[in-house]
Amino acid sequence: MEPMKPMEPMKSMKPMEGPDSSWWPKGLSHPSSSGSQNGVRYAFFPDQRRLAVEQDGKVRQYDTAEHRISGISQAQGSQGGTLRFTSQSGDVNLASLKELH
């Protein structure tokens, strides 16, 4: 039987990382909700009332007005998927939000 080898010293842990902020536009604060589904990513910024959506490699920003976005769903159809977001008032169709340029 071989003798036990001494243990290596513990290494420092890396700090936990927050959401991947590399994809949404600069100047937006921390999102209160973010996620992805079927190749679409979103992040909601309540302080600025903004929704950032990345789809097909393109990022767009929307004014959410009074909506507080908490989730995403997609309806599949012959015209492609329709993005809907969950808010405190129910489902919100992405097409109903004002896109910012």
Q: Are strands 58-63 and 50-55 parallel, antiparallel or unpaired?
A: antiparallel
* Least confidently predicted of 29-33, 58-62, 95-99: 29-33
Cα–Cα distance between 99 and 101 in angstroms, integer?
Answer: 7
Q: What is the mean pLDDT of the chain?
A: 83
What is the helix, strand, coil percentage profile of the chain, to 5? Answer: 5, 40, 55
Instruction: Name the residue with tokens 């590399």.
Output: 22
Residue 42 and residue 85 in contact, taking contact as beta carbons nearer than 8 Å: yes
Is the pLDDT confidence value at 10 over 80? no
